[in-house]
Chains A and B, each alone.
Chain A
Amino acid sequence: GAGVSQSPRYKVAKRGQDVALRCDPISGHVSLFWYQQALGQGPEFLTYFQNEAQLDKSGLPSDRFFAERPEGSVSTLKIQRTQQEDSAVYLCASSLDAGGSDTQYFGPGTRLTVL
Protein backbone atom coordinates (compact mmCIF):
# COMPACT_ATOMS: atom_id res chain seq x y z
CA GLY A 1 0.00 0.00 0.00
CA ALA A 2 2.95 2.35 -0.44
CA GLY A 3 2.34 5.68 -2.07
CA VAL A 4 4.50 7.59 -4.49
CA SER A 5 8.03 7.96 -3.18
CA GLN A 6 10.71 10.39 -4.27
CA SER A 7 14.40 10.63 -3.55
CA PRO A 8 16.32 12.48 -2.43
CA ARG A 9 13.93 14.58 -0.35
CA TYR A 10 16.39 17.47 -0.31
CA LYS A 11 19.16 18.29 -2.73
CA VAL A 12 21.63 21.16 -2.64
CA ALA A 13 23.62 21.74 -5.80
CA LYS A 14 26.18 24.27 -6.84
CA ARG A 15 25.33 26.20 -9.96
CA GLY A 16 26.49 24.24 -12.98
CA GLN A 17 26.17 20.80 -11.39
CA ASP A 18 23.97 18.07 -12.83
CA VAL A 19 21.27 16.52 -10.62
CA ALA A 20 19.06 13.45 -10.91
CA LEU A 21 15.75 13.14 -9.10
CA ARG A 22 14.04 9.81 -8.72
CA CYS A 23 10.35 8.90 -8.58
CA ASP A 24 8.86 5.55 -7.64
CA PRO A 25 5.18 5.57 -8.61
CA ILE A 26 2.47 3.44 -7.09
CA SER A 27 2.86 -0.09 -8.42
CA GLY A 28 0.79 -0.71 -11.53
CA HIS A 29 0.12 2.94 -12.26
CA VAL A 30 0.26 3.62 -15.98
CA SER A 31 0.62 7.39 -15.93
CA LEU A 32 3.44 9.39 -14.35
CA PHE A 33 3.78 13.15 -14.14
CA TRP A 34 6.47 15.59 -13.09
CA TYR A 35 5.59 19.05 -11.78
CA GLN A 36 7.71 21.96 -10.57
CA GLN A 37 6.52 24.05 -7.65
CA ALA A 38 8.26 27.36 -7.00
CA LEU A 39 7.93 29.03 -3.62
CA GLY A 40 4.46 30.49 -3.13
CA GLN A 41 3.14 29.05 -6.38
CA GLY A 42 1.05 26.11 -7.45
CA PRO A 43 2.63 23.12 -9.15
CA GLU A 44 3.43 23.59 -12.84
CA PHE A 45 3.40 20.71 -15.29
CA LEU A 46 6.72 19.55 -16.70
CA THR A 47 6.21 16.22 -18.44
CA TYR A 48 3.99 13.14 -18.68
CA PHE A 49 4.59 9.44 -19.32
CA GLN A 50 2.16 6.72 -20.21
CA ASN A 51 4.08 3.56 -19.37
CA GLU A 52 7.53 4.13 -20.90
CA ALA A 53 6.35 6.58 -23.55
CA GLN A 54 6.87 10.27 -22.92
CA LEU A 55 3.69 11.68 -24.41
CA ASP A 56 4.01 15.31 -23.37
CA LYS A 57 7.13 17.27 -22.51
CA SER A 58 5.75 20.68 -23.30
CA GLY A 59 6.37 21.97 -19.77
CA LEU A 60 10.11 21.31 -19.63
CA PRO A 61 11.59 24.80 -19.33
CA SER A 62 14.75 24.19 -21.34
CA ASP A 63 16.82 21.49 -22.98
CA ARG A 64 18.74 21.19 -19.70
CA PHE A 65 15.77 19.23 -18.38
CA PHE A 66 15.39 15.61 -19.36
CA ALA A 67 13.10 12.87 -18.03
CA GLU A 68 12.94 9.16 -18.64
CA ARG A 69 10.94 6.13 -17.57
CA PRO A 70 12.66 3.32 -19.44
CA GLU A 71 10.76 0.33 -18.04
CA GLY A 72 7.45 2.04 -17.43
CA SER A 73 7.89 2.18 -13.68
CA VAL A 74 10.58 4.29 -11.97
CA SER A 75 11.25 7.68 -13.51
CA THR A 76 14.22 10.01 -13.31
CA LEU A 77 14.20 13.75 -13.90
CA LYS A 78 17.64 15.04 -14.79
CA ILE A 79 18.67 18.67 -14.76
CA GLN A 80 21.98 19.53 -16.38
CA ARG A 81 24.07 22.57 -15.55
CA THR A 82 21.71 23.70 -12.80
CA GLN A 83 20.88 27.39 -12.48
CA GLN A 84 19.55 29.32 -9.50
CA GLU A 85 16.14 29.62 -11.15
CA ASP A 86 15.86 25.82 -11.04
CA SER A 87 15.47 26.00 -7.24
CA ALA A 88 12.02 24.60 -6.51
CA VAL A 89 10.19 21.56 -5.23
CA TYR A 90 9.90 18.87 -7.88
CA LEU A 91 6.77 16.78 -7.50
CA CYS A 92 6.04 13.41 -9.03
CA ALA A 93 2.51 12.05 -9.37
CA SER A 94 1.07 8.83 -10.73
CA SER A 95 -2.38 7.68 -11.75
CA LEU A 96 -3.77 4.24 -12.43
CA ASP A 97 -4.94 4.87 -15.97
CA ALA A 98 -4.63 7.41 -18.70
CA GLY A 99 -7.56 9.77 -18.94
CA GLY A 100 -7.96 13.15 -17.35
CA SER A 101 -10.53 12.24 -14.73
CA ASP A 102 -8.28 9.75 -12.95
CA THR A 103 -6.88 10.86 -9.60
CA GLN A 104 -3.22 11.80 -9.54
CA TYR A 105 -1.41 10.70 -6.36
CA PHE A 106 1.48 12.91 -5.40
CA GLY A 107 4.78 12.12 -3.77
CA PRO A 108 6.41 14.22 -1.05
CA GLY A 109 8.60 16.08 -3.53
CA THR A 110 12.30 16.80 -3.82
CA ARG A 111 13.34 20.26 -2.68
CA LEU A 112 16.18 21.42 -4.92
CA THR A 113 18.29 24.38 -3.86
CA VAL A 114 20.86 25.69 -6.31
CA LEU A 115 23.54 27.89 -4.78
Chain B
Amino acid sequence: AQSVSQHNHHVILSEAASLELGCNYSYGGTVNLFWYVQYPGQHLQLLLKYFSGDPLVKGIKGFEAEFIKSKFSFNLRKPSVQWSDTAEYFCAVNGIGTDKLIFGTGTRLQVFP
Protein backbone atom coordinates (compact mmCIF):
# COMPACT_ATOMS: atom_id res chain seq x y z
CA ALA B 1 0.00 0.00 0.00
CA GLN B 2 1.14 3.53 -0.70
CA SER B 3 1.98 5.42 2.46
CA VAL B 4 4.14 8.12 4.01
CA SER B 5 5.60 7.91 7.50
CA GLN B 6 6.73 10.88 9.51
CA HIS B 7 8.52 9.61 12.58
CA ASN B 8 8.53 12.76 14.66
CA HIS B 9 5.07 13.88 15.72
CA HIS B 10 6.18 16.80 17.86
CA VAL B 11 9.57 18.48 17.89
CA ILE B 12 10.61 21.25 20.28
CA LEU B 13 13.74 23.25 19.59
CA SER B 14 15.43 26.44 20.68
CA GLU B 15 16.25 29.10 18.14
CA ALA B 16 19.50 28.45 16.21
CA ALA B 17 19.25 24.69 16.74
CA SER B 18 19.53 22.43 13.71
CA LEU B 19 16.46 20.62 12.43
CA GLU B 20 15.95 17.31 10.71
CA LEU B 21 12.46 15.89 10.18
CA GLY B 22 12.19 12.34 8.97
CA CYS B 23 10.02 11.15 6.08
CA ASN B 24 9.87 7.66 4.62
CA TYR B 25 7.53 6.51 1.91
CA SER B 26 6.20 3.28 0.50
CA TYR B 27 5.30 3.57 -3.16
CA GLY B 28 5.90 1.34 -6.14
CA GLY B 29 7.58 3.09 -9.03
CA THR B 30 9.05 6.51 -9.64
CA VAL B 31 7.88 9.23 -7.29
CA ASN B 32 7.62 12.95 -6.83
CA LEU B 33 8.21 14.14 -3.27
CA PHE B 34 7.01 17.25 -1.48
CA TRP B 35 7.25 19.04 1.83
CA TYR B 36 4.37 21.34 2.72
CA VAL B 37 4.20 23.67 5.72
CA GLN B 38 1.20 25.06 7.57
CA TYR B 39 1.93 28.10 9.74
CA PRO B 40 -0.54 28.84 12.54
CA GLY B 41 -3.79 30.16 11.09
CA GLN B 42 -2.60 29.81 7.51
CA HIS B 43 -3.17 27.33 4.73
CA LEU B 44 -0.81 24.65 3.46
CA GLN B 45 1.98 25.97 1.29
CA LEU B 46 4.80 24.29 -0.58
CA LEU B 47 8.26 24.36 0.99
CA LEU B 48 10.07 22.34 -1.66
CA LYS B 49 9.65 19.45 -4.06
CA TYR B 50 11.69 16.82 -5.82
CA PHE B 51 10.76 15.26 -9.14
CA SER B 52 14.06 14.55 -10.90
CA GLY B 53 17.71 15.50 -11.05
CA ASP B 54 19.83 16.54 -8.08
CA PRO B 55 18.54 14.63 -5.04
CA LEU B 56 19.40 17.56 -2.76
CA VAL B 57 16.61 20.06 -3.12
CA LYS B 58 16.63 23.59 -1.75
CA GLY B 59 13.40 25.31 -0.84
CA ILE B 60 12.19 28.54 0.65
CA LYS B 61 13.32 30.01 3.98
CA GLY B 62 16.58 28.05 4.08
CA PHE B 63 15.03 24.58 4.08
CA GLU B 64 16.46 21.69 2.11
CA ALA B 65 15.65 18.02 1.68
CA GLU B 66 17.58 15.03 0.38
CA PHE B 67 16.01 12.22 -1.59
CA ILE B 68 17.73 8.92 -0.80
CA LYS B 69 16.17 6.37 -3.12
CA SER B 70 17.77 3.34 -1.47
CA LYS B 71 16.26 4.32 1.87
CA PHE B 72 12.91 5.53 0.50
CA SER B 73 13.52 8.72 2.46
CA PHE B 74 13.10 12.45 1.93
CA ASN B 75 14.20 14.12 5.15
CA LEU B 76 13.80 17.84 5.68
CA ARG B 77 16.66 19.88 7.15
CA LYS B 78 17.46 23.39 8.23
CA PRO B 79 20.80 24.29 9.83
CA SER B 80 19.46 26.99 12.15
CA VAL B 81 15.77 27.35 12.98
CA GLN B 82 13.97 30.55 13.86
CA TRP B 83 10.94 31.21 16.04
CA SER B 84 9.00 31.93 12.82
CA ASP B 85 9.54 28.31 11.71
CA THR B 86 6.98 27.20 14.30
CA ALA B 87 4.44 25.32 12.17
CA GLU B 88 3.21 21.90 11.12
CA TYR B 89 5.20 20.16 8.41
CA PHE B 90 3.80 17.55 6.04
CA CYS B 91 5.68 15.20 3.75
CA ALA B 92 3.81 13.99 0.66
CA VAL B 93 4.36 11.75 -2.34
CA ASN B 94 2.74 11.02 -5.66
CA GLY B 95 3.67 8.75 -8.51
CA ILE B 96 4.68 9.67 -12.02
CA GLY B 97 1.53 10.02 -14.07
CA THR B 98 -0.71 10.36 -11.04
CA ASP B 99 -1.66 13.58 -9.38
CA LYS B 100 -3.17 12.81 -6.01
CA LEU B 101 -0.88 13.43 -3.08
CA ILE B 102 -0.43 10.96 -0.24
CA PHE B 103 0.45 12.80 2.94
CA GLY B 104 2.10 11.80 6.17
CA THR B 105 0.47 12.61 9.48
CA GLY B 106 2.58 15.71 9.97
CA THR B 107 5.21 16.93 12.43
CA ARG B 108 4.45 19.81 14.73
CA LEU B 109 7.53 21.98 15.24
CA GLN B 110 7.74 24.46 18.10
CA VAL B 111 10.71 26.81 18.24
CA PHE B 112 11.32 28.78 21.42
CA PRO B 113 13.33 32.02 21.50
Q: List residues of A whose CB falls within 8 A of some B CB.
A: 3-4, 31, 33, 35, 40-45, 48, 56, 59, 91, 93, 95, 98-109
0/1 string, B72-111, CB within 8 A of A gives 1: 0000000000000000001010111111111111100000
Q: By the criterion of a CB under 8 Å from any partner CB, how many residues of chain B are at the interface?
A: 26
Number of residue pairs spanning A and B whose beta carbons lie under 8 angstroms apart:
66
**B51 to A106, Cβ gap below 8 A?**
no
User: CB-nearest residue of chain B relative to A59?
Assistant: B100
User: Which of A4, A95, A101, A106 is the most central at the interface, judged by chain B CB atoms within 10 Å of its CB?
Assistant: A101
Residue in A42, A56, A102, A107 whose beta carbon sits within 8 Å of that of B104 in the complex: A42
Q: How far is the CA of A7 from the CA of B45 in the complex (A)?
A: 19
Contact residues in A for B101 (Cβ distance below 8 Å): 33, 35, 43, 45, 104
Q: How far is the CA of A102 from the CA of B101 in the complex (A)?
A: 11
Partner of B99, one of A33, A40, A42, A91: A33
A3, A45, A108: the one within 8 Å of B102 (CB): A45
Binding site for A on B (CB under 8 A): 4, 32, 36, 42-46, 49, 51-52, 90, 92, 94-106
- Cβ of A103: which chain B residues have Cβ within 8 Å of it? 46, 49
Nearest CB of B to A96, in Å: 12
**A-side contacts of B94, CB under 8 Å:** 100
Complexed CA–CA distance, A4 and B104 (Å): 22
Query: Once bound together, how far apart are the Cα atoms of A42 and B46, in whole Å?
Result: 14
